[in-house]
Amino acid sequence: GAVVSQHPSWVICKSGTSVKIECRSLDFQATTMFWYRQFPKQSLMLMATSNEGSKATYEQGVEKDKFLINHASLTLSTLTVTSAHPEDSSFYICSAREGTLRGGYTFGSGTRLTVV
């Protein structure tokens, strides 16, 4: 089945630094990928839709200059958290869907970001 690889699985960074999270579709091409954020004991909140070869579409309230998304190829999307602060500490998850059939979306294993 479709596999989405997300890296790193966890990262600790200092306030003010930037962190890049990678999301790869291993055995399929994804023109669209999605980035979610999840705080403890809460549901997943969609941050943005990543479109290959074009600008990402951000959800209301998500700062596009803080959460930089790049989808340079059909198998790779990256999320960069710039000038991270402790309130950015969260679980970040990407997803993609294979093909045009109405199958399910595949999710990465998530990245636990802790900003100290």
Residues that bind another protein (CB under 8 A): 4, 6, 31-32, 34, 36, 43-46, 49, 91, 93, 95, 97, 102-110, 112
Nearest distance from residue 21's CB to another protein, in Å?
12
Q: Which two tokens stand for residue 86?
A: 């402790």
How far is 3 from 108, CA to CA, in rounded Å? Answer: 8
| 93/48 Cα distance (integer angstroms) | 11
Report how far residue 6's alpha carbon sits from residue 26's, in angstroms, rounded to the nearest whole number: 10
Q: To the nearest whole angstrom, how small is the minimum distance from the Cβ of residue 28 to another protein?
A: 13
- The DSSP output letter for 106 is E
Cβ 14 to another protein, closest distance in Å?
Answer: 23
The residue (of 20 and 105) whose beta carbon lies closer to another protein is 105
Return d(Cα 56, Cα 62) in angstroms, integer. Answer: 12
Cβ 38 to another protein, closest distance in Å?
Answer: 9
Query: By C-beta, is 13 or 45 nearer to another protein?
Result: 45
